Amino acid sequence: MRFACPCCGTDYAVPIAKMPRGYYKVVCSHCSYKWRKAIGVNPNFSGQRIDLEKDKSLASPSSAVKPAYRPEVLAILREEAATETRLRRSLASL
């Protein structure tokens, strides 16, 4: 299999029998550019798209489960949020 570096165009020849199918991180030995190369797989993901109209559980945020926090943790989180809001307002007024 032959492929070229997308940055500098250096050509490489790799014996396909030595490389199993998959995605590989490739580093150009000439310019050190890094990229991902698909070997023996179809990089077209159009067949794997999720149809949100058919699966309403993925489309609606109301189906998300909210974590349950203890009251002590909620008090700390609210205090941190108030402090963050105060700091943002003071920086915005500068």
Q: Give me the half-sphere count of Cα atoms (radius 13 Å) on the Cβ side of residue 1.
A: 13
- Note the pLDDT tens digit of each residue in 12-64: 887 777 777 788 888 888 888 888 888 777 666 555 555 555 555 555 555 56
pTM reported for the whole predicted model: 0.41
- Note the pLDDT tens digit of each residue in 81-91: 999 999 988 88
Give first-to-last CA distance, the chain, whole Å. 60
Tokens 């309403």, residue located: 56
For residue 37, the cross-strand partners are 24
